[in-house]
């Protein structure tokens, strides 16, 4: 629910005025937050072979935090604490209904955050999540969350082939959503960086309408530059443009 709310908030902000990812004044943010713990990367439920994707983005996010001048607690620390507490409370799911027990989820999260603060002096936790979103496109070019991508197959030749088609609409895409929340609870930063589209335009028209075809799993997340750019978009605002006072 947290991620969905953040996606809606970011979308609304980008549609009206330049979006400010900081939820408190920047000086206050930098004054309060020195150490940030990472939660494991969330991914869509339908994503196959998800572990390499989680590892890639966890590494990129951690590196970006350190480059921005923060001490970073790796996601494995959060995951270990979460696993330990989940075992103590009997798992995340209600044995009678099979549904996730939200009360247990809150209990586990609160425990993990307290322990991260105690053990590592974490001031905040960064929750990264890769989510399926909608990207708008015009004349075969999709734009969303600071990213853009041509939907035409075949590289430059395909782009030129589609250039005279006045198509527009929305297409499924992937974005990295990041939320930073203090150990006391309030969100202090939220942003998104587009990764890539999940469908592209097909070649020949069928019945006068060009179809979309899914991007194969083997072609998702293989562009290291796009992956890194998504992290840069989502977390680039954390990099101070002026040196902090000594």
Domain for residue 74, yes or no? yes
User: Residue 217 and residue 186: Cα distance in Å, rounded?
Assistant: 36
Residue 243 domain flag: no
8 A C-beta contact, residue 123 and residue 116: no
Q: Is 78:183 a contact under the CB 8 Å cutoff?
A: no
Query: What pLDDT tens digit does each residue of the chain (246 aa) get?
Result: 445 445 555 654 445 578 999 999 999 999 999 999 999 999 999 999 999 999 999 999 999 999 999 999 999 999 999 999 999 988 888 888 888 889 899 999 999 999 999 999 999 999 999 999 999 998 889 999 999 999 876 554 455 445 555 578 899 999 999 999 999 989 999 999 999 999 998 765 555 556 789 999 999 999 999 999 999 999 999 998 655 544
Looking at the domain assignment, is residue 246 inside a domain?
Answer: no
Instruction: Give the residues across from 176 on adjacent strands.
Output: 130, 193
Listing DSSP states for 96-152 in one string gives TT-SB-HHHHHHHHHHHHHHHHHHH--SEEEEEEEEEEEEEEETTEEEETTEEEE--
What values do phi and psi take at 137, rounded to 5?
Answer: -135, 150
- In total, how many domains does the chain have? 1
Question: Locate tokens 């028209």: which residue?
Answer: 205
In a domain, 65, yes or no: yes
pTM for this entry: 0.86
Domain around 118: 2-238
- Tell me whether residue 242 is exposed, middle or buried, using C-beta atoms within 10 angstroms of its C-beta: 0 to 12, 13 to 18, 19 or more: exposed
**Chain mean position to CA 105:** 21
* 172 within domain boundaries: yes
């Amino acid at each position: 629910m947290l991620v969905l709310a953040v996606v809606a908030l970011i979308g609304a902000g980008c549609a009206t005025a330049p979006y400010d990812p900081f939820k408190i004044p920047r000086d206050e943010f930098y004054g309060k937050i020195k150490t940030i713990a990472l939660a494991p990367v969330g991914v869509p439920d339908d994503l196959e072979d998800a572990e390499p994707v989680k590892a890639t983005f966890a590494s990129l996010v951690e590196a970006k935090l350190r480059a921005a001048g923060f001490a970073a607690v790796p996601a494995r620390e959060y995951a270990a604490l979460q696993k330990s507490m989940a075992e103590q409370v009997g798992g995340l799911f209600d044995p009678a209904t099979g549904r996730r027990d939200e009360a247990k989820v809150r209990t586990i999260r609160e425990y993990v955050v307290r322990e991260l603060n105690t053990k590592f002096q974490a001031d905040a936790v960064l929750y990264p999540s890769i989510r399926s979103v909608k990207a708008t496109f015009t004349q075969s070019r999709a734009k969303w969350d600071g990213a853009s991508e041509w939907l035409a197959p075949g590289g430059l030749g395909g782009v030129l082939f589609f250039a005279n088609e006045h198509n527009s609409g929305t297409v499924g895409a992937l974005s990295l959503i990041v939320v930073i929340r203090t150990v006391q609870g309030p969100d202090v930063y939220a942003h998104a960086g587009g990764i890539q589209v999940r469908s592209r335009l097909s070649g020949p028209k069928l019945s006068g309408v060009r179809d979309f075809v899914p991007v194969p799993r083997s072609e998702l997340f293989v562009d290291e530059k796009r992956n890194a750019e998504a992290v840069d978009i989502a977390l680039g605002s954390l990099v101070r443009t002026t040196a902090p006072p000594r």
